[in-house]
Amino acid sequence: MIGFVRDVFRVLGMPCREHTALFSKQLDEPLPPGIAAGLRIHILYCGGCKKFRAQIRRLRDLAGAIGQELDSGESMPKTVRDGVLRRAADQSKKI
């Protein structure tokens, strides 16, 4: 219990730029309960972080939808599908 409370207060004391990193990490893996609770409390009063979290969740959902569309290949024209895959491959090389 002490660790949970310590994590909550640690997160609440962080600057917003550190919260954005935690929001991104939270998309990939579950965060410890105290850190997750601290983030939930923080977005109650920080509109910027609340908006950022909504935006990265939306981007994740859109990317997933595009990925499913590319995998199914049913409704997307072949030329569009090939173009998206080519651009994704080009972007991957830049990373």
For the chain, how many structural domains are there in total?
1
Per the listing, tokens 């730029």 go with 17
Using pLDDT thresholds of 50, 70 and 90, give the confidence band for residue 70: confident
Q: pLDDT (tens digit, 9 = 90+) per residue, 13-57?
A: 999 999 999 999 998 899 999 999 999 999 999 999 999 999 998
pTM, whole model, 2 decimals? 0.69
Judged against a pLDDT cut of 90, whether residue 79 lies above it is answered with no
Count Cα atoms within 13 angstroms, Cβ side, for 56.
15
Q: Give pLDDT, residue 94.
A: 62
Domain extent, residue 47, equals 2-94
SS3 71: helix
